[in-house]
Amino acid sequence: MKYDYLIVGAGLFGAIFAYEMNKIGKKCLIIEKRDHIGGNVFTENLENINVHKYGAHIFHTNNKKIWDYINQFANFNRYTNSPIANYNGELYNLPFNMNTFYQMWGVKTPDQAKAKIKEQRYNANINNPKNLEEQAISLIGQDIYEKLVKGYTEKQWGKKCTDLPSFIIKRLPVRFTFDNNYFNDLYQGIPIGGYTQIIEKMLENIEVKLKTDFFDNREHWSNIADKIIFTGMIDQYYDYCYGELEYRGLNFYHETLNMENYQGNAVINYTDSKTPYTRIIEHKHFENSLSSKTIITKEYPKTWVRGDEAYYPINDEKNTKLFEKYYNLAKKEDNVIFGGRLGMYKYFDMWQVIDESLKLVNSLK
């Protein structure tokens, strides 16, 4: 074989794997169907602004080992994720905290906020939440659910909240302090100069072929290396033999505006059901970029259909059962290993992608 490893996909998972394997003398080839490296963390400098081309990527973790690992490739700033919610022109702080409760109800103390939520939970008569709607109301009350959760979530997932599992909403932080920091993690920031530089450094000594689709010449690529690290969709690899797993698709519409500041915040979520996009990202606020112009991105979730770019899996009960069938096929493979969000059919934050890739590397050393 010409290579020790063929890595399908030049995103974060594949780049870390190639970087680490190259350090111990393994010969790697990366093929990537897009025309750039970096996968969904790809950033492009336009108008002196590092544009997150596939949505906001804010690095956060409690794992010091992972934080130290990624910091060897770039210096990170102290960016704090503090999104704003826009509900039909009304503005609210996120995550749900005392600022939100004051804006919603005029309450000024934690006890007042807790009493309001308790009252609304009692009125809803929910004891054992069976779906996302019931879970959300039991956590933060009817008013916040209706204005800040329902419309946004149904746009995001393309399903009614009553049809979504309750565990999805459990990731949302609820705080009885005046703290607008979305994440609880100890380490948080954005690389100064964007994410692409990180992937470039990882792949400095790695052979990479862009605009190269594994499935256009599958037989050739399957026989070029001892092992394949596949970071694409696991169901596509198996030619959808058990049927399609569900994913969410996204459309990104980027605009360059002839003004210095469009919305005053990096991320504003549009939580009503009528606005077709879920959020507007204004990229210059991630790094306080100096530019006479600004670049915004509107993010439109969409139903994934075959041929579209898949962005994240839908881990409900139906899809989890279907994935188990593909996972059982994968366990029988001698020369193919699946990784990343799409290969493992699991929602990962960036730190988890790094962790999973390093675990794989250590298992193969």
* Rg of the chain over all Cα atoms, to the nearest angstrom: 22
Q: Known catalytic residues? A: 171, 175, 248, 279, 299, 347, 349
Locate tokens 């008569």: which residue?
A: 125
Distance of CA 136 to the CA centre of its chain: 21
- Note whether 178 and 98 are within 8 A (CB): yes
Cα 193 from Cα 172, distance rounded (Å): 29
Which runs of E-coded beta strand occur in the chain? 3-8, 28-31, 43-46, 49-52, 59-61, 84-87, 90-93, 187-189, 207-209, 225-230, 247-257, 267-270, 279-282, 294-303, 312-313, 336-338
Q: For the chain, first and last CA: distance in Å?
A: 19
Task: Tell me, rounded to whole angstroms, the distance of Cα 191 from its chain centroid.
Answer: 16
Does residue 236 contact residue 213 with C-beta atoms inside 8 Å? no
Can you read off the two tokens belonging to residue 212?
């190269």
Q: Exposed/middle/buried for 171, CB within 10 Å: 0-12, 13-18, 19+?
A: exposed
Distances from the Cα of 227 to the Cα of 30, 33, 221, angstroms? 12, 19, 10
Tokens (6 digits) for 107: 């309450």
Name which of 159, 184, 116 is nearest 319 in CA terms.
159
